[in-house]
Amino acid sequence: MSIKILIADDHHIVRKGLVLFFQTQEGLEVVGEAENGQIAIEKAKELKPDIVLMDLSMPVLDGVKATKIICSENPSAKVMILTSFSDKNHVLPALEAGASGYQLKDSDPEKLVEGIHKIVKGENELDPKITSQLLSHLQEKDKLKEELTAREKEVLKEISKGKSNKEIAADLFITEKTVKTHVSNILAKLNLQDRTQAALYAVRHGLDK
């Protein structure tokens, strides 16, 4: 049984290059191509590929949004990001959207084939550059988490429940002004913009329990 591949990339030359390359590989079959995220979603539904090779920067709908929709609509289809972006601002949203792998376009073609086989078997496959990015990101976040005081963690937990400053003050038996100070400190320490980001941070890092 061949592994069915859908290639989503807005560069015609990249798609054609991948198609030609996969034709030389045993057990891999390109069943379709898409030049933007919207077409990738439609083709994934219609062609039921085993894996979608997804570029991130595409017109109409980007790769992250397309990945999220494909993963929710076709849980059996795996998505591998194939892009030139290796920074955490691209990597993290893609993995959070449900991608099982992340490879860079300048990586070895043999690695790409190996990665496709791994992902279809249910494993994850990340380019080494991406792994180091993720590790440093997680260490950075853990460090930030440790900087919060016990009281700030309590306030953050209440924020994650959607409570107002007034409600938090009543629940923790402190003044509303003190809550405001704690909220400001939390946002500053965690490099966050607002309460919504703080609530998401709490959920992601298990501080909402």
Instruction: Express each pLDDT in 106-122 by its tens digit.
Output: 989 999 999 999 999 98
Does residue 4 surpass a pLDDT of 90?
Answer: yes
User: How high is the pLDDT of residue 208?
Assistant: 82
CB 63 within 8 A of CB 55: yes
CB 52 within 8 A of CB 6: yes
Q: How far apart are CA 129 and CA 49, in angstroms?
A: 27
CATH class of the domain defined by 148-204:
mainly alpha
CA dihedral (132, 80, 41, 50) positive or negative:
negative
Its pTM stands at 0.67
User: How high is the pLDDT of residue 95?
Assistant: 85
Residue 151 or 201, more confident = 151
Residue 86 or 53, more confident = 53
Q: How far apart are CA 206 and CA 209, in angstroms?
A: 6
Does residue 45 surpass a pLDDT of 60?
Answer: yes
Q: How far apart are CA 78 and CA 100, in angstroms?
A: 6
Looking at domain 3-135, which CATH architecture does it have? 3-Layer(aba) Sandwich (3.40)
What are 206's two structure tokens?
A: 């298990």
Q: Read off φ and ψ for residue 31, nearest 5 degrees.
A: -100, -15
User: How high is the pLDDT of residue 122?
Assistant: 87
In percent, the amount of the chain with pLDDT more than 90 equals 67
What are 193's two structure tokens?
A: 């913009």
Q: Where are the domains of the chain?
A: 3-135, 148-204
User: How high is the pLDDT of residue 156?
Assistant: 94
Helical ranges in the chain per DSSP H: 12-23, 37-47, 63-73, 88-96, 109-120, 128-147, 150-160, 165-172, 176-189, 195-204
Provide long-range contacts, Cβ within 8 A and 24+ apart, for 162-170: 162/199
Least confident of 81-90, 127-136, 163-172, 179-188: 127-136
Q: What is the mean pLDDT of the chain?
A: 90
Does residue 163 surpass a pLDDT of 70?
Answer: yes
Mean pLDDT of 4-21: 97
User: How high is the pLDDT of residue 9?
Assistant: 98
Compute how many other C-beta atoms are within 10 angstroms of the C-beta atom of residue 165: 19
